[in-house]
């Protein structure tokens, strides 16, 4: 005799259990899981401060040589492997400016390793410091 059983769906688990399960995922996996449905996106969002990153969207001020942060956006990484080197891509106005900016020289760049605050009211982010080669 075969008995048909209803499949257990991940989203039917209690939120506390789901949070415990997904806390073991990396940023890339959290990004993909958050794209599956609204419920899982909301649960993944609870880990943004711990496993996400803040992307600053910059905007050039009109009639000025200055830039300001237009918006801060939290997101999970879309990279499958660790980012070993940052490089400029794209043809945006800010990208073009940074290629020639005297304050954006490779020899001056430092990757920090100590904890620091990204924004007020956020937990400290642990990093490491290395001189960019």
Task: Delimit the domains of the chain by residue range.
Answer: 1-81
| Per-residue model confidence (pLDDT) at position 74 | 84
Which residues 6+ apart lie within 8 Å of 49 measured at CB?
A: 74, 122, 123
Tell me the average pLDDT across 77-84.
72
Q: Which residue has the higher pLDDT, 92 or 131?
A: 92
Rounded-to-integer distance, Cα 34 and Cα 27, Å: 10
Average pLDDT over residues 37-64: 87
pLDDT for 4-48, tens place per residue? 666 678 888 999 999 999 989 888 889 999 999 999 999 998 888
Q: Which residues contact 75 (CB under 8 A, 6 or more apart)?
A: 31, 48, 52, 53, 55
What pLDDT score was predicted for residue 40? 92
Choosing among 1.10.1740, 1.20.1280, 1.10.287, 3.30.930, the CATH entry for 1-81 is: 1.20.1280
Q: What is the mean pLDDT of residues 51-67?
A: 85
pLDDT at residue 110, as a whole number = 67
**pLDDT for position 75:** 85
Please compute the mean of the pLDDT values over residues 113-119 and round it to a whole number: 63
């Amino acid at each position: 005799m075969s008995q048909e059983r209803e499949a257990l769906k991940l989203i039917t688990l209690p939120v506390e259990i789901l949070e415990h399960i997904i806390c073991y995922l990396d940023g890339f996996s959290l990004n993909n899981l958050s794209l599956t449905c609204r419920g899982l996106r909301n649960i993944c969002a609870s880990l943004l401060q711990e496993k996400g990153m803040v992307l600053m969207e910059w905007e050039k001020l009109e009639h000025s040589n200055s830039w300001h942060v237009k918006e801060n956006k939290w997101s999970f990484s879309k990279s499958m492997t660790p980012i070993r080197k940052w490089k400029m891509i794209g043809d945006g106005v800010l990208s073009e400016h940074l290629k020639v900016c005297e304050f954006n020289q490779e020899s001056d760049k430092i990757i920090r390793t100590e904890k620091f605050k990204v924004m007020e009211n956020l937990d400290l982010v642990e990093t490491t410091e290395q001189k960019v080669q």
